[in-house]
Chain A
């Protein structure tokens, strides 16, 4: 919690410094009640839980396992250069994953090295920033991941050699240099109140890397084809138990996100696994799944657990903090821009098509035996009405940015949008498309009527 501006109100999370012209636009800068993010989080989590339980779980092996419709060999092209569709499920030997881990590790190494250098040569003698210890932890995680990736590739090639021990030894040498930097700084300052957390954390990780070097030297060359190391580090799609494990972690993270327990970490796990599953079988997803990924991406980066969450309840109980929580609106604004682009682009491409301008589209969609829930006869919509509705929907979609920009059409345009998706949900089997799109409308609900507060939204 930062930047309380009054005794009764607090703004959760980081308030961004926005460049002009965003900084001059109160729509981007004025904080909104944290409940707006919370309702987005809860709505998305509920939809995802239903999706996971009814659409993923019964077909998990069919859609993602070896020998099924998502066999790793079938979609190996989807993660190959020039594509960047990474997935944890492909295993740590995947070249794309290794590239991403290596880039992350190089950045963390450069950052940590510069931070240590600045601390060593800088004039400040106060206690080290807590972020520095977090940076060490991030570097540790990236280094261990890099070592595991290299091990996984060595095991996959059945060519362990000296590489599995050389890589941890190299990283150990780097960690030792970092320890030396920090030791020099501590000796230079010789201040009694100096925090030594960074020194001890770096020293501890040196021990971990030394241990990993021994494992790489002694154990890895003898790992058999069915060894635990080979199975854990290889493709999780080929191991039904590991595929199930990944699913249940995803399910648990989504449940945690719904309840708001360790919300940030749950959102990161849910997004990571959502992307990982989406990228190993792209042919079972539709636009709704892309919307799901986009919402999770923002939830992961913003303080979505600042209201209506167990995290908040615990914080309030511990600190007896009863202040009203607001959040910076940036995530909601970007999602609104995304939503406007979705409708506008869809409308624009429909304008270039043929069946929308002739007014046939709705009639044909309602007759599509692939999509509809029940036969066209049951709806019995007069053709002239379906033509009028086709044109109305086209006008609504292509004009959506304008309708929501004008104050006197905004509410009607949004109500129609919500009804449009409810209509799709009732008449067509498009999976998560309608529920995930409806989730985008949740933060736009008139929350101030519930809270009796004017939040300026």
Chain B
């Protein structure tokens, strides 16, 4: 099983260089992820030491920073092109909140939680396929890709201990606006989800009449603290996020999806 004593062929050399490069890529790409995290979370007491060791690196300037940015771009390009992403940070912090999106459909112009108007069909709440109907008795198998999609745009909004309800509502309004509007927002994704879920609702039921209002509601459950359990979770606590009025004309440059404003308890147009 000894290696051939003759000189290596071109293919052997290329393969060897690829292996060495791949090993370097793994070590460098992961090292850069750690360095990036360390830079952002470096304790104040370590700043002088970091400055002496790597001048300017902490403030994202200097030669080391320049070198790291160049290597970062090259390794990120390779990682994306070969689908070898190296973001290994799974569950670094585990929260107590679990949020499920739900659609609330109405066939009248009333508010989402108002009772149904006479002669109108009652409002329907169409829960996510991932939300347990009974949190004390369920079994889940499959659907994780849909859960991942729903998780990506889920928004956890709750009151902090040190704020009033008015302050909380103002903060929520800002969060909802940032979440739904702007170039990095989830607005288009959420709208696509709402349309898709409405199609699913119509396909699963006999009710083919298009609702006049479709609301997106975040249903949040809170995991109990160990000394409060059982029950192990409480909820759902519902908060409105957005509204879509199918068939309703929208202004030029506006999206059919409207953002909920918890301060004024109304909806605002969302720019495309």
A interface residues with partner B (beta carbon < 8 Å):
3, 5-6, 9, 11, 14-19, 22, 28-31, 54-55, 59, 62-63, 67-69, 71, 73-74, 82-86, 100, 274-275, 278-279, 281, 283-287, 290, 293-294, 297, 301, 326, 330, 334, 337-338, 341-342, 345-346, 348-350, 352-356, 360-361, 363-365, 367-370, 372-377, 383, 429-431
* A278 to B19 alpha-carbon distance, docked (Å): 25
10 nearest A-B pairs in the assembled complex, by CB-CB distance: A431-B144, A17-B8, A345-B88, A367-B223, A376-B232, A284-B145, A293-B83, A16-B15, A16-B16, A353-B92
* A437 to B82 alpha-carbon distance, docked (Å): 19
12 A-B pairs within 8 Å (CB atoms) are namely A14-B9, A15-B4, A22-B23, A74-B188, A82-B77, A85-B81, A286-B144, A337-B23, A345-B33, A352-B41, A356-B92, A369-B135
Q: Is there contact, CB below 8 Å, between A370 and B100?
A: yes
Closest to A294 in B: B84
B12 interface residue, CB < 8 Å from A? yes
B1, B18, B91, B224: the one within 8 Å of A326 (CB): B1
B20, B93, B146: the one within 8 Å of A355 (CB): B93
Chain B's nearest CB lies how many Å from the CB of A446?
Answer: 20
Closest to B148 in A: A284
Q: Give the residues in chain B near A330, CB-CB below 8 Å.
A: 15, 19
A5, A29, A68, A429: the one within 8 Å of B147 (CB): A429
Q: Is there contact, CB below 8 Å, between B98 and A69?
A: no
In the complex with contacts A341-B88, A361-B91, A372-B1 CB distance below 8 A: no
* A233 to B158 alpha-carbon distance, docked (Å): 48
- Most chain B beta-carbon contacts within 10 A, residue among A31, A86, A334, A365: A334
Chain B's nearest CB lies how many Å from the CB of A140?
Answer: 21
Q: Give the residues in chain B near A374, CB-CB below 8 Å.
A: 138-140
Q: Is there contact, CB below 8 Å, between B196 and A62?
A: yes
* A85 to B80 alpha-carbon distance, docked (Å): 5
* A430 to B12 alpha-carbon distance, docked (Å): 40
Q: Is there contact, CB below 8 Å, between B83 and A279?
A: yes
Q: Is there contact, CB below 8 Å, between B226 and A363?
A: yes
* A179 to B149 alpha-carbon distance, docked (Å): 53
Chain A's nearest CB lies how many Å from the CB of B4?
Answer: 6
Q: Is there contact, CB below 8 Å, between A15 and B192?
A: no
Q: Is there contact, CB below 8 Å, between A14 and B15?
A: yes
B253 interface residue, CB < 8 Å from A? no
Known: A69-B196, A365-B94, A372-B140. 7 other contacts (CB 8 A): A14-B11, A281-B149, A283-B189, A334-B23, A354-B93, A369-B221, A370-B99
Q: Is there contact, CB below 8 Å, between B30 and A361?
A: no
Chain B's nearest CB lies how many Å from the CB of A187?
Answer: 28
Produce 1/0 per residue, B130-166, CB < 8 A to A: 1110011111111111111101100000000000000
Interface residues of B in 29-83 (CB under 8 A from A): 30, 33-34, 37, 41, 73, 77, 80-83
B86 interface residue, CB < 8 Å from A? yes
Q: Is there contact, CB below 8 Å, between A14 and B142?
A: no
Q: Is there contact, CB below 8 Å, between B86 and A341?
A: yes
Q: Is there contact, CB below 8 Å, between A375 and B136?
A: yes
Q: Give the residues in chain B near A341, CB-CB below 8 Å.
A: 26-27, 30, 86, 88
Q: Give the residues in chain B near A337, CB-CB below 8 Å.
A: 23, 26-27
* A386 to B94 alpha-carbon distance, docked (Å): 14
Q: Give the residues in chain A near B116, CB-CB below 8 Å.
A: none
Q: Is there contact, CB below 8 Å, between B12 and A14?
A: yes
Closest to B184 in A: A77
Q: Is there contact, CB below 8 Å, between A86 and B130?
A: no
* A286 to B152 alpha-carbon distance, docked (Å): 11
Q: Give the residues in chain A near B139, CB-CB below 8 Å.
A: 373-374
Q: Give the residues in chain A near B80, CB-CB below 8 Å.
A: 83-85
* A383 to B224 alpha-carbon distance, docked (Å): 12
Chain B's nearest CB lies how many Å from the CB of A235?
Answer: 16
A68, A283, A368: the one within 8 Å of B196 (CB): A68
Q: Is there contact, CB below 8 Å, between B22 and A334?
A: yes
B84, B90, B135, B189: the one within 8 Å of A293 (CB): B84
Q: Give the residues in chain B near A283, CB-CB below 8 Å.
A: 148-149, 152, 189
- Most chain B beta-carbon contacts within 10 A, residue among A86, A274, A355: A355
* A209 to B18 alpha-carbon distance, docked (Å): 34
* A379 to B133 alpha-carbon distance, docked (Å): 19
Chain A's nearest CB lies how many Å from the CB of B156?
Answer: 11
Closest to B137 in A: A375
Chain A's nearest CB lies how many Å from the CB of B37?
Answer: 7
B269 interface residue, CB < 8 Å from A? no
B19, B27, B94: the one within 8 Å of A361 (CB): B94
Closest to B30 in A: A341
Chain B's nearest CB lies how many Å from the CB of A74?
Answer: 6
Chain B's nearest CB lies how many Å from the CB of A70?
Answer: 9
Q: Is there contact, CB below 8 Å, between B149 and A284?
A: yes
* A14 to B13 alpha-carbon distance, docked (Å): 10
* A94 to B226 alpha-carbon distance, docked (Å): 52
* A352 to B91 alpha-carbon distance, docked (Å): 11
Q: Give the residues in chain B near A355, CB-CB below 8 Å.
A: 93-94
Q: Give the residues in chain B near A285, CB-CB below 8 Å.
A: 145, 148
* A273 to B30 alpha-carbon distance, docked (Å): 26
Q: Is there contact, CB below 8 Å, between B92 and A15?
A: no
B114 interface residue, CB < 8 Å from A? no
Q: Give the residues in chain B near A294, CB-CB below 8 Å.
A: 83-84
Q: Give the residues in chain A near B146, CB-CB below 8 Å.
A: 59, 69, 284
In the complex with contacts A283-B189, A287-B90, A348-B34, A69-B149 CB distance below 8 A: yes
Q: Give the residues in chain B near A368, CB-CB below 8 Å.
A: 94, 98, 223
B3 interface residue, CB < 8 Å from A? yes
Q: Is there contact, CB below 8 Å, between A429 and B84?
A: no
Q: Give the residues in chain B near A84, CB-CB below 8 Å.
A: 77, 80-81
Q: Is there contact, CB below 8 Å, between A365 and B91?
A: yes
Closest to B19 in A: A330
